[in-house]
Structure 1
């Protein structure tokens, strides 16, 4: 499918004001789609929407709130035929061992909150957007649209202190094939990207010395992944009609060590 075929369609990008999400918004916009930035970062999202113009709008979205997601879907449907969604939101994490050094158990609240955002929030967007995309007229292959989720290689090789995050991302990985099979009956493809260590603004905050250590752990190329590379892969998964039910690692052959 040529990128020009995205003209007349709309897409939702959760976490669209963040590092990975912003790159996806820019990629979809360049491909001709109208895009809704679904986020809670008001200032960043509005600046991005203003920069890209009338076909990109910001809709304040709490992915764990169904009414909020429904309002964003309505906004996207006004911009064009809603056929695509890329779920990239983040913003919360708890670094805690199951049993802490002082012998105390990990916080159940922290575990639940992490799963609520990364797994339940992903599922909430998936189910509501899919129900809207399912109303579309299918193309010659019977496809009505496509969705890309974001997991993490931590879902395969969670590090010490990452039990909550790793469990949430493993849930997204597990959701991929089951979700793709569920959605086959309504002509929607579902794929997931599992990124490794990506060069986002959040990563830059750790400092240059730590960044160099992260780079050293990547077999090749010895650098962090670029948000544009994530966006390129997301666009491929959205537009290649025969990729379905896949989790694609984007990590330079990196495998997380225990710490």
Structure 2
């Protein structure tokens, strides 16, 4: 078995070391360090504006740090070899589906654009991935005909087409009703069990984080305040963490 096939079975490790990033003189990430284990569901949680999505963009290689580095299985994310050796996919907050294409065309877009497979094989792969996310037979529908939860599942199916070793989810339950959010959470866990992919989720959804995570990193104002299992994070006495976890809406 080659290294690629082996890592696909077990996911990849992700290591963040001394990560700093500023925009327009404002420091957003202030020396972050964390490590994600192969095959783990790892949630990065914290309030809005804490630097979660900026961190995620660094992990996928969309942003270059001012200092520090990110390693995928020990290789720097910005080295050309990483994309040759490892398959990374991102599920964007909006789903990022193309409205002019059908569900099937959206899911198979990477394969068809790069002419990686013949049309019949692409159709088979698309059908297979849609079935994995519970959308069997939905190939001919348009994104405008789908609910928010279904769009998120189509986006996940599109990510699965490349057989990723690492999937990054940016706020996967945003704009979803509670029932749809639960379905997406279950989908993430089921995928992790089926294909042993490493999953990193950025979210401020407390129910999602504590429902699916193997471990959680809590980030606030560009610093990681805690890393641990859901129970360990719940028990953390840091006031900012407790305020976030116990925030509730009360009528006066």
| TM-score for the superposition, normalised by structure 2 | 0.36
- Structure that is richer in helix per residue: 1
| TM-score for the superposition, normalised by structure 1 | 0.35
* Relative contact order, higher structure (CA 8 A, sep 6+): 2
- Structure that is richer in strand per residue: 2
